[in-house]
Amino acid sequence: MRTATGTDEPALEVFPPGTGRAADGVLVVGGCRVDELAAAYGTPALLVDEAHVRATVRRCRAALAAAWPDAQVTYASKAFPATAMYRLMAQEGIWVDVAGLGELEVALGAGVDPATILVHGNAKGDDLIGRALEAGVAYVVIDNLDDVDRLEGRATREQRVLVRLNPDVAPQTHDAMSTGGQRSKFGLPAGLAREVIARVRAANLLTLAGVHVHIGSQIHDLAPFAESVRALRALVEELGIADVAVYDLGGGLGVPHLRGEHVPSLEEYVGTLAAAAREHLPPAARILIEPGRALVATAGVSLYRVVTVKRAAATFVAVDGGMGDNLEVSLYGQPFEAVIAAPRTAGPRAPERCDVVGQHCESGDRLVAGVELPAPAVGDLLAVPVTGAYTHPLSNNYNGALRPPVVFVGGGEHRAVIRRETLADLVRRDVA
């Protein structure tokens, strides 16, 4: 098999390591031929290279352990909140953060120890706060005064909390992925934080353990991360809470989606945070980091079948998925690569500039613009890499689409960890 390294197919650079082509040209991911996966699970399907997730998580853990004495990687599970992923993270010694009651239930159901769970949310309802307290989660991250009301009203034993501060740091990323700017709905500016902290300190059963900051997602530049650590510490001093021990520095590191694209590595990211921490935080601080995307994105590959090829204003290659299973393009304008993963028919094909589009009734339902594909034809399998984060959880039933299965692959083995939705699922909630 020809693998990504050393092929003349640069797009394979952004597929999981070890991805290559069998002698007949069929793409092989995690040791599995995609034509066999398509036969077993249908298309579209989200393939996840399990070994690559584990390797990425271990790299992150090792980098953080080497950089700071008391530190913990916490997986921002919103990126891929599936039972199998929660189990994997727990097996790897990773904590998880959840941002809703559903994520909390799935994590608990997967067997994640509540003492390793952080609860986020800018609008936590009574149900989420109640369940978090009942389960005994590690920390509830307070984002507003109403969180304090709810916690105070319901706590029956000590609950440790972090306070999410707004550092007024706006990294360069899509507006919809920027969360640390002054006008963000997330986090507390100094004035409000002061009130929250006074309330927490006065509450019998709440313990202020530390502070939290998160500036956004898909961030390619490390400087804002360092700046957020400095700003966080400045806020801590301004608020007179320098005695707190826990500094949760959030997540947000981006990943490369395109051939030749450079994004700092996990090691560089952790190194930047640790250097900023050495400069600004007490040496005994306990540091948490919350990467989501950077742990899972590059392990994912979306597998589609070409349904139509329309040669009009452009060559529109329409596949059997789209914004129903990948909202990253319509929400954030995220560019992706695409390759023909298994041509329907053998033989040489001339490259053609194409727009890969979805099957949904929206002009914005485009997966990849202006990609060169070898004369795509109906029935080809087409693969889009780096779809392991924020695709599965944002998948939807638009136009009655059935949400795709998630298939873990590795070492030539494969197993569905989430089945495809069925037509019966579509009406399961209809009551009249």
**Site for ligand PLP, rule CB under 6 A:** 76, 78-79, 97, 120, 179, 214, 217, 250-253, 290-294
Least Å from the CB of residue 216 to ligand PLP: 7
**Of 32, 60, 354, 361, catalytic:** 361
Closest to ligand PLP by CB, 31 vs 335, is 335
Least Å from the CB of residue 132 to ligand PLP: 15
Phi-psi region for residue 70, left (φ > 0), alpha (ψ -120 to 50) or beta?
beta
| Adjacency order of strands within the sheet including 20-21 | 2-3, 20-21, 27-29, 32-33
Structure tokens at 310: 């329309």
Residue type at position 149: D
Least Å from the CB of residue 411 to ligand PLP: 27
**Residue 32 catalytic?**
no
Closest to ligand PLP by CB, 47 vs 295, is 295
Closest to ligand PLP by CB, 21 vs 120, is 120
Closest to ligand PLP by CB, 97 vs 355, is 97
Closest to ligand PLP by CB, 43 vs 179, is 179
**Largest separation between any pair of C-alpha atoms in the chain:** 74
**369, containing H or E segment:** strand 366-374
338-293-222 Cα angle (round to 5)? 105
Least Å from the CB of residue 78 to ligand PLP: 6
Cβ atoms within 10 A of the Cβ of 363, count?
7
Least Å from the CB of residue 190 to ligand PLP: 19
Rg of the chain in Å (alpha carbons): 23
Cα–Cα separations (whole angstroms), residue 108 to 122, 163, 393: 21, 23, 17
Closest to ligand PLP by CB, 97 vs 380, is 97
Residue with tokens 């070898």: 374
Per-residue burial over 42-71, b = 16 or more CB atoms within 10 Å of its CB, e = otherwise: ebbbbbbbbbbbbebbebbbebbeebbeeb
Least Å from the CB of residue 301 to ligand PLP: 18
253-256-259 Cα angle (round to 5)? 170
Distance between CA 254 and CA 269 in Å, rounded? 10
Catalytic residue annotation? 361
